[in-house]
Each structure stands twice: as structure tokens, then as C-alpha cells.
Structure 1
Amino acid sequence: MTKEDLKSLVLPDAPGVYFFLDARKKILYIGKATSLKNRVRSYFAPDLKDKRSELIENMVAEAISIDVTETESVLEALILETNLIRSHKPRFNTRSKDDKSYNHLVITNEEWPRVLVVRGRDISEKFLKEEIKYEFGPFPSGLLLRDALKIVRKLFKFYDTKQPLGSEKTKMARGKIDFNRQIGLYPEPDKRDEYLTTIRHLGLFFKGKKKTIIKEIEREMMRAAKAEEFELASRLKKQLFALQHIEDIALVKSDNTFARTVSARVEAYDIAHMAGQDMVGVMVVIQNAEALKSDYRKFKIKTLKQANDPAALREVLRRRFSHTEWPLPDLIVVDGNSIQKNAAESLLKDLNLAIPVAAVVKDDRHKAAGILTTSEIESKYKFDILLANAESHRFAINYYRNLARKRMKF
């Protein structure tokens, strides 16, 4: 598709989900938007490759048409996008290929079900299949999911304790639950039936069935009014209004921030040793301002006997890119100066990889003093660059110390 093709599209300035389709109407990519009009248009900007990725640029070139589904709120767009990606697994939604490090929403199948955020890789370790009532995800952005749950909590009160209700072992844990009940964060202990209805409604909400919930609440509100249960009717009326007027301004802000970096996978590398002894290298990954620790990697330097950080970096990068099953980064961050940056760029050139490199220069106290890269990359990814560099340094030092400690024992 080209910018000219946009002229024939009528795109609403409203939240929703958009679909890029190929010639056979097969879905290539699914995304969500605060404004469908603005978001879809952003895919036809001349700097798309720099702002998003070459993968997304290729997707737009392959697409023949665009379809959209409007939602009543950004929150519902987030939920619909997640459900559709999980169902269709579009080729260009790279996160649908390996979602083990992303967050999922799990609602437990207990006497008092709990609503928990769990990493995909941890679900099978923490729960048996029959212990899960509902499970939704993956949600690529932990920030967006946390903001979404803050909004959801205003609609549905739910428990999110680490341990099942009733298994608290300390007075402090029981006191925290009582306090959260008093301030209206947790449901009352004598209203289990009402709570189970809330959990069912919560499940329906994350399935995208808000209209079903509204109809049920309207019926119950009418019944309560006829039975002169005015307190219950008033509470249901407030819940109904909240559902029909979801206040998700915080999610709008988070979504706008997330949209700028949604495709950016930042890999940072560092080398650690003591005068060439126990020389190691590491790779860490930052995406959407979060550490993807399941993608961290450690490398024992095999080709060097003396200290040579640039050569060690080249070895690490060469071994890293021999793993064609690992996702390619959008940006590489190295610790050092132009020497390390040049070493990385030289290796990437040898491998015919066009990936930008940023180097974080340190001062005498090993604090970040500057970033060697283009002004555009620095302004766009400065937070991720510094976070990735700090995390790679921490990871490398810990790895080196563990190896040195083991060597000294023998």
C-alpha cells in the first residue's frame, strides 16, 4: 500500500483495532489505536523504517487493504487487540511468535478467585490447568496492562493476593486484606455469590463481551428496584454508568508512549574480566522499557587469552548472530566509546546486517557521560539505551564474579 491508497479510506478519529490485509484478505498485522485515523496514517510516513522497523515497512508494502473495528474505549481496544492476535497469530505481529516473557492475566479457579498478572513462561509452573478459571494474553507492554488493571479495578473489585484467600500465615498479611476491604479495594467476605458474579463479569469483559454484562446489570437493577432493594439498585446503577463511560485517560497517555517504541528491541552487550582472566560477555534485551530476562544470554570468551574488549565484543556478536532463531534487534548498545562502536559496526557489516549501534561513554566513576549515535536515535531511544547499558553492566559483573568465585574454590 502507498499513501495514495489512504485517500479512499474513511478512518474514524476514535479508538479501536486496525488490520492490514494481503491480496487474499489474510491478516498480516493487527494493532490498536487511541485514534484509528492518526495511527493508520502514521504507517505511511517517510520515516516509518526508522520509527518502527524494516519488518513493519515490509508489512505495509505487502498489504493491499486496511480494515478497522471501532471500540468505545482505548481499554476495550487493548483487550480486543490481544484476543485477536492470540486467535489469528498474524505473521508480522512478531510478539505472537514467542510470548513466553510477556504478561498474561490469570483468574484462578478457587473459592475466592484471584486476578493475577503472570509471565507466560511461569503459568504452567505455578498453576495446574484446572486451577485456572480464565487466562488472557499475552500483553506485550507491562506498563499498559498495569494501567488497564487500575481502570478495570474501578469497574470490578477483585482479590489479587499472592496466596489464596484464607491461607495467610501472618497477622500482617491478614491485616492488609482487612485494610483493603475497608477502603473498598477488596470485596466484602460475606458476599461470595456477588463476588463470583463479578468474576464472571470480569471474564466476559476481557472476552470483549461488555454488552452482555450491561444487559445483565440492567436486568438485576430493575429486579432490585422492584424488590425495593434500593441500596443494591443504586450500586448497580453506578456500576452501569462506569461501564458505559470508561475513564481511560491514563491508558491513552500510556498507549501514545507505547506506540512510539512498540517494535523496538534493544540489545545491549558488555564485557567483564580482571586483566583478561575469566573473560565473559553478556547480552540483555530491553523492549517497551522493560527487561526481557528470558532473552538474556551469557558468553564465555573462547578465542582470547589476554584483555581485548573490542575483540571480545566481536566474538560475542558473531556467536549471537549465529542463532538465526533469535529475533533480530532494532538497535545494538555497547559499553565504551568509538572503538567498541566501530568494532560492533565492522562485525555487522561483515554479516551484512544493517542494524544501528549506540555506544554509552562512561566517566571516571563509570557513570554514563554521553551516547555515541545519531541525534534521532538518541532522542527516540535514550531511556532504553541507558537502561539496557546499565542492565548489561550489572549482568556482566555478576556473571564474571560467579565464575571467579567458582575458580577460587578449586
Structure 2
Amino acid sequence: MKSAQKFLSKLPEAPGVYFFKGPRGRVLYVGKATSLRDRVRSYFSADIVHTRSPLILKMLGEFVKVDFTQTDSVLEALILEANLIRKLNPPYNSKEKDNKSFNYVIFTKEDFPKIVVARGRSVSSIFPKDLIKFMFGPFPHGTQLKEAMRIIRKIFPFSDQKCVPSGVQIKNQKKEKQGRLPRACFNYQIGLCPGVCVDAVTKKEYGEIIKNLRLFFEGKKKAVLRNLEKQMRGFAREKKFEKAGEVKKTIFALNHIQDIALLKHSTADKNDMSSFGGKVASGMENFNDTIAPDKSFRIEAYDVAHLNGTNVVGVMTVVEDGELAKSQYRKFKIKINPGINDIAALKEILRRRLEHLQWTLPNLIVLDGAQAQINAAQGVLKERGFNIDLVSVVKDEHHKAREILGEKRFIEKHSRAILLANAESHRFAIGFHRKLRRKIR
């Protein structure tokens, strides 16, 4: 096999995309890497015959050169790889490109476009051609794409299939519910949807988000940054300093993409393992300790639900390591008869929860409400001899978080997990209450 030293010496220990080229510069194969040097080196290991597919071994017998494009992040490498596979159609990627199980990112053709991830085999059945505005892919690495979309959505909040536009909600309202405010989707409550569901964003404003998101998927991050900087200057000139500040935060997020979670998934994705032989970059396993700021931090969130003081219920939801721990959720049928008194119900829930010493105690408790809820919970904790920190999420008329009350050090470090836990407790409480009412009928 050809000596790899002269190729490897030119490759940086940085994320990017690499190209195996044949005679006359034809691209034979495209791959992405968290470390270009380590990934390409893995193709020349002693156990190559056992770790690579026959197709890749055949390619290694034909290539004459390795080139690369370095990217600022693993996320951008993932997107660039998909774009290049589609554009260049490398012969040794053709099997991947034709695989109907691979994923595509769809931008729908609507006034407020939705962003949807769909498998190749189901795209045509779910979306008629006239409903697709843009389509990006194929993305061979499903787990990594899922993680990538989570990162991207924090930078560019977008609407998905679960978000019903406010106009559609109003149009479909039954007579007895006419005049009610549109209902916010779950993702709006945790900052991942700009508010298409509650008229919190105009068509023009949302169009700007979609435009920048499309450019990002096209690999044109510099163009996105130029657009955002222009937007920020415009808002500043108009003295709209709050909006200018929001754009500034987006610019910072784009320039400091935190995609460590993608590195974690790069070792576990089955498609990635079959395509690249499962080689793990040196030290990759240590990244599991720094995936998110919420690592090893348990949050419990509580909420109460009732209908005019009847069938009062409460719930506890849990976020661990920044992720929902649904197996640890708990439901409480309120035994006292508090009527329309959420404070009394909350006290009962906390007292009953603290009786279960076998349950892991939280680092932080999240409440739904204001200072009154914090005061009530502090009273119960003191009464039972526990010292657990508390925060409370204050909502606006659309039930979106307006403010978080409590210790700033927790809010600054764990705001995403706090809002996630709070929104999930609201969803879980409403679901439990509706189920109970149906049973009683």
C-alpha cells in the first residue's frame, strides 16, 4: 500500500472534510473528520483489511492523493460532507448516497417554512414536490445529524411540524373556544421556536431566520455573519438595542459553536462505524465529561394542574446531565382539597416527594410561578430539614418564560436545563390532568 507519510504530514489535527483523489484529480471518496490527521491515518493502520469494507479497500488501491478542507467545527464538517457527496457524486460514496435510510433536512414551501428531518425513503410520501422549498443531504450519520439539529436550533430557532401557526389555530377554533389566545408550542416555551404559533414573529423576521439557516446549510457561514452584522447595525441605528443585542448573541454563538456532543456521537453512529472502520480519535473518550454545562447536575421541576380547582394534580419531572430523565417522572393526585390554591397543592407535592428518601435528591428545584412559590417551597424544605436551591420561572400571557427568579449562578449556568424542565413539567401536568378527567367521566 502506498506510504501515507507525505499525505499525513499535511493534515491538521482539526475538524474538516477529506478527499481521496484518483488519476486526473477525480474525487473518489469524501469523508468528514473530527481530527483530519487521525481519521486519515486510520486508513493506513496495520489491521486495515479487518476494519474496512471491500469497497473502501478497493478505493485505497486506486487513490493517488489526499486533499482536505478544514472547518471551524465538527458541525460544519458534517454539513460540508453532505453537500459534497451530493455535488461531486464520488463513486465510493455512491452506495451511501443511494441509501434510502439516510436523512435529509427539508425546508417546506410555506409562509412560515417548517424545518423537518426525514429519511430518504419517506421524503416523497410525506412531502409532495411542490411543498419542498429546499432539501439538504444525504446525511449518512443519523445520530450526529440529530445532535447537529439541536445545536443549530439554539442558534436559529425554527418552526417544525409540531408548531401550528396562530392563524391556523384561530381558523380551526370551535365556536365555544373562539376568541381564545393561540396556544404556544412546547419549543417556543424553551426558546427553540421563534413564536410562529403565537404571532411573536412576523413573516419578514422569520424569513430572515430561514434565509440565514439556508445559507448555513449551504456552507456559507461567512455570508450568514455578514447578514447578521448588517442586521445588528440596522437595529442599533433604529435604537432597537434589545434586538441588536439578540443578533449579537447569535453572531457570538456562530463563532463559538459548541459541538462537543457531536464528538461523543461520532464514536457511536453505526453508519459512521461502517463507513470509516470505527476508528476513534486519540482522547475522544474523555469528551464525555464535558458534553454540556448541565453534566452531573440533577434538576427536579414541579407543576400543578386543575380545572377551576377540581381534579387537582401535580407532577415532578427530572433533567439529568442536561437531558430529560422520563423514567424518573412522578405523578401526584392531591389528597387535600385546595380548590384554586396552587401554593397549597405545591406544598403537599413537595412534602410527599421528600418522604421518598430512596429517590436521588436534586441539586436544584424548579418551580412554576413567582416569589410566592419560592417562599412556599423554602418553608417546606426548612420544615423537613433539607437545604436545596430553588428557582422559579415566571411566564407571560403566552406561557413563555419571561424571567427566572433565584440564584444568578444557577440561572446563568443552567438556564437551558431549567427552562426545559419547567416546560416539560407543564406538559406532563396538563397531560396527567386531562387523562384523569377522562377517566372520571
Alignment TM-score, normalising by the size of structure 1: 0.60
1:190 deviates by 3.3
Matched, 1:64 2:64: yes
Measured in 2, the distance between the counterparts of 1:170 and 1:264 equals 52
Say which of 165, 188, 201 aligns to 1:181.
188
Please name the residue that 1:11 is paired with. 11
Please name the residue that 2:240 is paired with. 229
SS of aligned partner of 1:161? coil
The 8 Å contact of residues 104 and 119 in structure 2, kept in 1 or not, is answered as: yes
The 8 Å contact of residues 21 and 27 in structure 2, kept in 1 or not, is answered as: yes
The 8 Å contact of residues 21 and 28 in structure 2, kept in 1 or not, is answered as: yes
Give the residue type in structure 2 aligned to 1:191: V
Give the residue type in structure 2 aligned to 1:144: Q
Write out aligned runs for 1:313-392 (5 A): none
Please name the residue that 2:25 is paired with. 25
1:67 deviates by 0.3
SS of aligned partner of 1:254? helix
Measured in 2, the distance between the counterparts of 1:50 and 1:58 equals 14
Q: CA RMSD in A?
A: 2.4
1:177 deviates by 3.8
The 8 Å contact of residues 51 and 260 in structure 1, kept in 2 or not, is answered as: no
1:162 deviates by 4.7
Measured in 2, the distance between the counterparts of 1:185 and 1:138 equals 24
Matched, 1:160 2:155: no
Measured in 1, the distance between the counterparts of 2:230 and 2:189 equals 29
Bigger mean CA offset, 159-168 vs 250-259: 159-168
Please name the residue that 2:117 is paired with. 117
1:260 deviates by 6.1
Measured in 2, the distance between the counterparts of 1:158 and 1:67 equals 35
Note the alpha carbon deviations across 1:340-387, whole angstroms, 9 max, x for none.
xxxxxxxxxxxxxxxxxxxxxxxxxxxxxxxxxxxxxxxxxxxxxxxx
1:170–1:52 Cα change, 3 Å: farther
Measured in 2, the distance between the counterparts of 1:65 and 1:99 equals 27
Please name the residue that 1:45 is paired with. 45
1:120–1:179 Cα change, 3 Å: closer
Measured in 2, the distance between the counterparts of 1:242 and 1:226 equals 23
Say which of 261, 264, 272 aligns to 2:273.
261
1:162–1:262 Cα change, 3 Å: farther
Matched, 1:240 2:240: no
Write out aligned runs for 1:290-301 (5 A): none
The 8 Å contact of residues 112 and 164 in structure 1, kept in 2 or not, is answered as: no
SS of aligned partner of 1:262? helix
Please name the residue that 1:79 is paired with. 79
1:204–1:7 Cα change, 3 Å: closer
1:16–1:176 Cα change, 3 Å: farther
SS of aligned partner of 1:257? coil
1:94 deviates by 4.0
Measured in 2, the distance between the counterparts of 1:246 and 1:221 equals 20
Unpaired stretches in structure 1, ≥5 consecutive residues = 266-410
Measured in 2, the distance between the counterparts of 1:73 and 1:2 equals 30
Matched, 1:108 2:119: no
Measured in 1, the distance between the counterparts of 2:126 and 2:8 equals 50
Bigger mean CA offset, 198-207 vs 4-13: 4-13
1:186–1:162 Cα change, 3 Å: closer
Note the alpha carbon deviations across 1:84-113, whole angstroms, 9 max, x for none.
001111111143452322111101011211
Write out aligned runs for 1:260-299 (5 A): 261-263=273-275
Please name the residue that 1:250 is paired with. 261
Measured in 2, the distance between the counterparts of 1:182 and 1:232 equals 19
1:81–1:112 Cα change, 3 Å: same
1:256 deviates by 3.2
Note the alpha carbon deviations across 1:246-297, whole angstroms, 9 max, x for none.
01000111123338613399xxxxxxxxxxxxxxxxxxxxxxxxxxxxxxxx
The 8 Å contact of residues 82 and 138 in structure 1, kept in 2 or not, is answered as: yes
SS of aligned partner of 2:194? coil
Please name the residue that 1:211 is paired with. 222
Measured in 1, the distance between the counterparts of 2:42 and 2:10 equals 15
Measured in 2, the distance between the counterparts of 1:190 and 1:175 equals 11
SS of aligned partner of 1:100? coil
SS of aligned partner of 2:152? helix
Measured in 2, the distance between the counterparts of 1:251 and 1:214 equals 23
Note the alpha carbon deviations across 1:180-205, whole angstroms, 9 max, x for none.
32321211223122111101111111
Measured in 2, the distance between the counterparts of 1:43 and 1:27 equals 16
1:227–1:163 Cα change, 3 Å: closer
Note the alpha carbon deviations across 1:311-360, whole angstroms, 9 max, x for none.
xxxxxxxxxxxxxxxxxxxxxxxxxxxxxxxxxxxxxxxxxxxxxxxxxx
1:176–1:161 Cα change, 3 Å: farther
Measured in 1, the distance between the counterparts of 2:7 and 2:238 equals 56
SS of aligned partner of 1:12? coil
Please name the residue that 2:282 is paired with. none
Please name the residue that 1:358 is paired with. none
Matched residues, number: 263
Q: Percent identity?
A: 46
SS of aligned partner of 1:112? coil
1:8–1:148 Cα change, 3 Å: closer
1:2 deviates by 2.0
1:225 deviates by 1.4
The 8 Å contact of residues 177 and 186 in structure 1, kept in 2 or not, is answered as: no
1:170–1:186 Cα change, 3 Å: farther
